[in-house]
Amino acid sequence: MKRQFVYELKRILLPLIVFTAVAAVVFVVAALSTELVREYSDGTLHAINPLTPVPASILGVLCYIVPVLQFSYRMKTRSADLWYSLPVKRGALLLQRLLAGLLLVFVPYAVSFAAGVAVIAFRDNLFVMGYYAGYFAALIPAGLALFGINCFLFTRASTIIDGIVFELGSMALLLMPFWWLDTLIPYYAPDALKGLQYHFLTDKPLDEIGSAFASAILGDGIDLKDVSALTCAVAGVEGAAAYFGLFWTAARHKTETIEQPSDSPFGYRLMIPLYVFCFAAVFSANGLANAFDLITMPIIFTCGLAAYFFYRRSFRLRLSDWLWLAGSFAAGIAIGLLGYYYLQPWIGGFWPEPPQQQWPETIA
């Protein structure tokens, strides 16, 4: 185990150097080229552009790229046979790859963060620099969760292309049902009930943490209202479930499905019907009363059909594919119309509608 982990460290040395160098250059260039202090018309100086999106973006991109690098061996028959023939249990092999992957994510993140903040510190700025340390630490658990989620999703696939599609396609998967629910909430409802769907984006914690620490670094104090407890809870549960699922299924990986169309329930089988259903529900939530919604319906069905062609790698679909596509499309329209004609008025009745503003008549 120890010898093989040392080999794993040697194997990732080159990509580790490349990722670290690229990440550091990106942050340093951004820190050198961005305006950090602006003089207003009254002569006062104000801190601007704390560059919090840069390290969050670096961390997020690494959390999507590294799973592909670390687990692509499972998508090639020759590589899988070679690795699985080693005298190492699959769970131990998975652990080695995960630990090495975490190094590939967090070493470039840490080095680039230190380099970028050092450049900012040497430039004229009005930032509260101490908050950068807190920001660095706060992004780590968010990165851990996102990395685990993407590792789990990527390893559900049988080909590298499918794995990448699973990663990217699942970013907004849980958002979709709540997007439809958001169409039922009237504009005069409490703000806490609006925009719930955005809490279910897999990379939302990185964005919210960045917003909270941006205001703190600018000297306005840290505002924890920018970090939603719901977002953190969703990310934490998803991350924990992903790591558990990785080890739970490690010994169940079937080599005979390698390089075949991916048939995992966490992939196309779930994504395509759910996206078709939710898009149809959202774009029929206005009662299909305008031309745009009517035009959108066949586009949604066509996109779902194209997705099934890509899933099967063939223009010949199974009967079950047609049933899932047609059923999810019809059900989405039915749910959208049900929401418009029945649920929306019922939900709107929970809050008094504000009086309409009366505009004075125009004097001719």
What does the domain layout of the chain look like in residue ranges? 2-160+198-254
Nearest to 332 by CA among 360, 362, 293: 293
Q: Which pair of tokens denotes residue 143?
A: 């990165």
pLDDT at 231: 87
Give the number of residues written for the chain. Answer: 364
Asked whether the predicted pLDDT for residue 295 surpasses 50, the reply is yes
pLDDT digits (tens, 9 = 90+) for 306-329: 999 999 999 999 999 999 999 999
Rounded to whole angstroms, how far apart are CA atoms 128 and 52?
A: 13
pLDDT digits (tens, 9 = 90+) for 116-158: 999 999 998 889 999 999 999 999 999 999 999 999 999 998 8
pLDDT digits (tens, 9 = 90+) for 233-279: 999 999 999 999 999 988 777 766 777 888 888 899 999 999 999 99
DSSP 342: I
Rounded to whole angstroms, how far apart are CA atoms 101 and 271?
A: 26
Q: Which pair of tokens denotes residue 199?
A: 């809490």
Q: Tell me the whole-structure pTM to 2 decimals.
A: 0.88
DSSP 191: G
pLDDT digits (tens, 9 = 90+) for 38-65: 888 777 888 899 999 999 999 999 999 9
Nearest to 244 by CA among 152, 126, 123: 152
Q: Encode 198-232: b = buried (16+ Cβ within 10 Å), e = exposed.
A: bbbbbbbbbbbbbbbbbbbbbeeebeeebbbeebb
pLDDT digits (tens, 9 = 90+) for 54-95: 999 999 999 999 999 999 887 777 776 666 666 678 788 889
